[in-house]
């Protein structure tokens, strides 16, 4: 039986987050430079977005560039930025046709100007689209995001517009770059690595994890279906006992 026919669409996760990993190893295996893998990684993003839309997922968040990725060789960083600009420019018509809203999380002010401009343009154009939101995590690190949120709250307390009793989970959530986005129910990481790597640390408190050996450029719709089926086979208890859920 095909995987998709076993999925209960009424119980699809509303938000899936993905740590796309293994582009470099995939390229090496084919005897190419790492950037070759990133180029094919964009194909996998396209296919996954389409599959997520069919599954009625509302938000798909992709870890496209971490704060730590600046430490990679300059040629790879420049290549990734260039790929991002080209991909967004090349995909904008398709995003509009398929009703995709583009969003970003992370310290986007730290991205090169050409990249910021291309992103802003696409975000503005797609802002009223409603079929699915594609959230690109760019120059993102969860510890940066939480630190930034704390700084904003500290400033408000310093200015007297807030007092310390008002520092609640909700107040912190509102200062994160994900403030308008629900927490992910499912986090997928490819390439056999089983780490969270500074991704969405606050938001994944109750998230189910799915790890797969598949290298990101090889990730297909079927792999997303498998991850969603794995998610649907689990019981989410949020600290309660089974009997309390019925």
Is the CB of residue 199 less than 8 Å from the CB of residue 142? yes
Of positions 136, 137, 149, 227, contacts ligand FPP by CB under 6 A: 136
Shortest distance, position 63 Cβ to ligand FPP, whole Å: 7
Q: Examine residue 14 and tell whether it contacts ligand FPP (CB under 6 A).
A: no
Beta-carbon contacts of 32 under 8 Å, excluding residues fewer than 6 positions away, are none
Per the annotation, the verdict on 21 as an active-site residue is yes
- Alpha helices per DSSP H over the chain: 23-29, 34-54, 74-97, 113-126, 142-159, 169-175, 221-232, 242-245
CB neighbour class for 162 (10 Å; exposed up to 12, middle 13-18, buried from 19): middle
Q: How many residues bind ligand FPP (CB under 6 A)?
A: 20
Of positions 12, 13, 18, 24, contacts ligand FPP by CB under 6 A: 24
Per the annotation, the verdict on 8 as an active-site residue is no
Which is closer to ligand FPP, CB of 25 or CB of 175? 25
**Catalytic choice (23, 58, 69, 121):** 69
Q: Examine residue 87 and tell whether it contacts ligand FPP (CB under 6 A).
A: yes
Shortest distance, position 93 Cβ to ligand FPP, whole Å: 15
Beta-carbon contacts of 30 under 8 Å, excluding residues fewer than 6 positions away, are 36
Q: Could you tell me the end-to-end alpha-carbon distance of the chain, in angstroms, rounded to an integer?
A: 29
Give me the residues that bind ligand FPP (CB under 6 A), please.
20-25, 34, 38, 41-42, 45, 62, 64, 69, 83-84, 87, 136, 191, 216
Active centre residues (catalytic)? 21, 69
């Amino acid at each position: 039986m095909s995987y998709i026919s076993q999925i209960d669409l009424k119980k699809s996760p509303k938000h899936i987050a993905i740590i796309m990993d293994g582009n470099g190893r995939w390229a090496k295996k084919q005897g190419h430079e790492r950037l070759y893998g990133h180029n094919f990684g964009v194909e996998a993003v396209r296919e996954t977005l389409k599959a997520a839309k069919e599954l009625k997922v509302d938000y798909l968040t992709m870890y496209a560039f971490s704060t730590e990725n600046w430490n990679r060789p300059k040629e790879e960083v420049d290549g990734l930025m260039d790929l991002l600009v080209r991909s967004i420019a090349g995909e904008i018509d398709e995003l509009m046709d398929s009703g995709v809203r583009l969003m970003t999380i992370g310290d986007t002010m730290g991205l090169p100007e050409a990249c910021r401009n291309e992103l802003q343009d696409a975000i503005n154009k797609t802002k009223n689209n409603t079929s699915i939101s594609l959230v690109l995590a760019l120059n993102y690190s969860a510890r940066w995001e939480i630190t930034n949120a704390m700084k904003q709250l500290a400033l408000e307390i310093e200015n007297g517009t807030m007092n310390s009793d008002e520092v609640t989970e909700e107040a912190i959530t509102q200062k994160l770059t994900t403030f308008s986005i629900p927490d992910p129910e499912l986090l997928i990481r490819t390439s056999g690595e089983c780490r969270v790597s500074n991704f969405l640390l606050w938001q994944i408190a109750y998230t189910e994890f799915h790890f797969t050996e598949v290298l990101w450029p090889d990730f297909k719709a079927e792999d997303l279906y498998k991850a969603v089926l794995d998610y649907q086979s689990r019981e989410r208890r949020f600290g309660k006992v089974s009997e309390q859920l019925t």
